[in-house]
Amino acid sequence: MRHFTNVKDMGDLHVALQEALEIKKDRYKYVELGKHKTLLMVFFNSSLRTRLSTQKAAMNLGMNVIVLDVNQGAWKLETERGVIMDGDKSEHLLEAVPVMGSYCDIIGVRSFAHFENREDDYTEKILNQFIQYSGRPVFSMEAATGHPLQAFADLITIEEHKETKRPKVVLTWAPHPKALPQAVPNSFADWMNEADVDFVITHPEGYELDPKFVRGAKVEYDQKKAFEGADFIYAKNWACPGVTRPEDYGKILSKDMSWTVDAEHMSWTNNAQFMHCLPVRRNMIVSDDVIESPRSLVIPEAANREISATVVLKRILEEIG
Ligand code: CP
């Protein structure tokens, strides 16, 4: 693997899961692999889990780590070519990215959707500039339209906790006070479509995810019907993806609190286990009692971020030798 931006970069998911479970048993097994190799983690947006788990993963592999918070102490970066740079942006990404590449062996990038231009977000303009100009392997630490490290950790968590061979997994929209990107639900759909699960997506009308991520998944607008027989409930908010009405891209169309996952919602399921990528707004997305219940997987799910990142970095290190 040279770059890691979506599920296709991972290849056979059964093989990836076996590798993840092997690493989980002995996370320092490949500690020599990253000796004298440097990971640069570039954050355009905030993070708790990604920052800590990816750094820990690099340490598991014996790597050195540099972290750059672009918005805290670095020069403000221009991303558009052809702009007369007479404003507050002192440096262009086209110089900054190859300079960053000169100090490291692998680059992880976190850059969320801006919601200004759907095409810029959905063509992953920032992430692809790192791939094009850094001269280094690049992996997504959550980009505009995908969060594959999270989706891989989610898959590992489902594999570890499933109680039937082919569980029913439901991705449900839930309300939130701010407009959030579609990266997590897009990637979750992308990975569940490749996994050995019965996958259903439920959301209010207008929140249709991009067809390239939904693919053949069943979409059920009635949340109660979707929850019936579910083994895993994966809750997440996302702003309007602009699929049916491009002019609504990035807007909040609903804050309908009847979609908040509470004990009554969970009673519709097959005693489902609850999942969320975190951070989560309690009593908007999920009630206190559901997230604190013994059927909540949010903490082991976050812990598996270390494992998914270790597998990805290991594979990139094996590629670059
Ligand atoms: N789930 C996740 O990516 O968390 P952070 O935003 O804290 O990194």
pLDDT digits (tens, 9 = 90+) for 144-158: 999 999 999 999 999
pLDDT at residue 128 greater than cutoff 90: yes
**What is the CA angle 48-234-315, rounded to 5?**
55
Name which of 73-77, 129-133, 190-194 the model is least confident about.
73-77
pLDDT at residue 73 greater than cutoff 90: no
pLDDT at residue 213 greater than cutoff 90: yes
Please compute the mean of the pLDDT values over residues 309-317 and round it to a whole number: 98
State the Cα–Cα distance between residues 307 and 212, nearest whole angstrom: 27
Q: Is the CB of 54 under 6 A from ligand 1?
A: no
Tell me the pLDDT of the chain averaged across its residues.
97
Alpha helices in 91-165 (DSSP H): 93-102, 118-122, 125-133, 148-161
Cβ neighbour number for residue 282 with a 10 Å cutoff? 12
Q: Is the CB of 270 under 6 A from ligand 1?
A: no
pTM over 0.95: yes
Please compute the mean of the pLDDT values over residues 273-287 and round it to a whole number: 98
- Tell me, in angstroms, the distance from the centre of ligand 1 to residue 240's CA: 21
Q: Is the CB of 142 under 6 A from ligand 1?
A: yes
* Of 133, 136, 135, 140, the residue nearest 109 (C-alpha): 140
Please compute the mean of the pLDDT values over residues 60-80 and round it to a whole number: 94
Please compute the mean of the pLDDT values over residues 65-87 and round it to a whole number: 93
pLDDT at residue 304 greater than cutoff 90: yes
- Decide: helix, strand or coil at residue 55: helix
Q: Is the CB of 154 under 6 A from ligand 1?
A: no
